[in-house]
Amino acid sequence: MTTLTSFLRTGARSARARTIRGAALLAALVTVTTCGCGIRTTTVPVDAGPAPTRVSCAAPKATVPTAPPGATLLKVYLVCSALAAQVTRTVIVPDGAGVGPAPTDRLAAAHELLGQLQRRPSAAEAEAGFATEVPGNLDITGPLPGDPKEALRLSLSLDELPSFALAQLVCTFEAVPGVSTSDHAVLLGGPPEDHQRVKRYTCTSALRTRPEAADTAGTAVK
């Protein structure tokens, strides 16, 4: 009886040991499998936040009101989803500002376009995902002595402009005859103290879609 009792106790201990070893092995396998899948185990609930929302980048429609007189549709480029994209705005053009098909005053037209780019997007534009990167303190003057007559000088160096801001300026200016050159280019330079040569820009797809393209987008005008 003593021998049988000892055997049973020994067997029970062995069974418990096997159970413990089996549980440990199972835990080890679970750990290895989880690590192998690239999933980190955790006992703390993780709040990943709300699911990311997608913007439409669908430009809201603009219409010319019947009043007051002088209203016109103006196309400008804003930034949406890492792209420079076109929107149409209804603006009131003062007499002589010349933002129509053939501007009579290049600098006045450029100022009107710049103001549109610096303006905060409308509620409809913001809802569609549009924004602007053109600095609010940016100003434009006419050509310096020795510059081509179509040149526009910026109050900030071209190197200081955010990449998409340059794309917005070039693509917006290019679309307006008289602000751009006869071959649809835009001539931009920095302030006089920069001694920076005027550069020739065109609204390429690379300029609209890749910010880094702005670094090499312009060619110096001789």
In a shared domain, residues 24 and 131: no
In a shared domain, residues 110 and 166: yes
In a shared domain, residues 189 and 90: yes
The pLDDT, as a whole number, for residue 55 is 57
In a shared domain, residues 78 and 131: yes
User: What is the domain count for the chain?
Assistant: 2
The pLDDT, as a whole number, for residue 211 is 76
In a shared domain, residues 28 and 119: no
Q: pLDDT 10s per residue in the chain (222 long)?
A: 443 334 324 444 444 444 444 444 334 333 433 344 343 333 434 333 333 345 568 877 665 555 456 667 888 999 998 899 999 887 765 554 444 444 448 898 899 999 999 999 999 999 999 999 999 999 999 999 999 999 999 999 998 999 899 999 999 999 888 899 989 999 999 998 887 889 999 999 999 998 788 888 899 997
39: left (phi over 0), alpha (psi -120 to 50) or beta: beta
Query: Could you tell me the residue range of the domain that residue 82 belongs to?
Result: 71-220
Reported pTM:
0.69
In a shared domain, residues 94 and 12: no
In a shared domain, residues 84 and 37: no
